[in-house]
Amino acid sequence: MLWVLTQVEDIVVIPGTKQIRYLSENIVALDASLTAHDLAVLDQAFVPTAVAGTRYPELGMLTVNG
């Protein structure tokens, strides 16, 4: 979540969780920081153009766009 927040200024991260304790963990994580090296490593690992595969399994894709 922290890396996502560093990408643009106008993003709102909505963490999915089923329990309040996990939401609390996510909120506490905002106090963490990433070094320039951390960000560089993450930027290389999560290149937006490096997408592989479909979003859903084959049967699920049948329900997308009609």
The mean pLDDT value of the chain amounts to 84
Q: Which residues contact 54 (CB under 8 A, 6 or more apart)?
A: 61
Output the pLDDT for position 6: 81
Output the pLDDT for position 40: 93
Query: In the predicted model, what is the mean pLDDT of residues 42-55?
Result: 84
The two three-digit tokens of residue 34, written as one number: 């990433």
Output the pLDDT for position 66: 62
The two three-digit tokens of residue 36, written as one number: 């320039």
The two three-digit tokens of residue 2, written as one number: 């922290």
From 1, 26, 19, select the one nearest 11 (Cα to Cα).
Answer: 1
Contact 12, 4 (CB under 8 A): no
Q: What is the rounded CA–CA span in Å between residue 40 and residue 38? A: 5
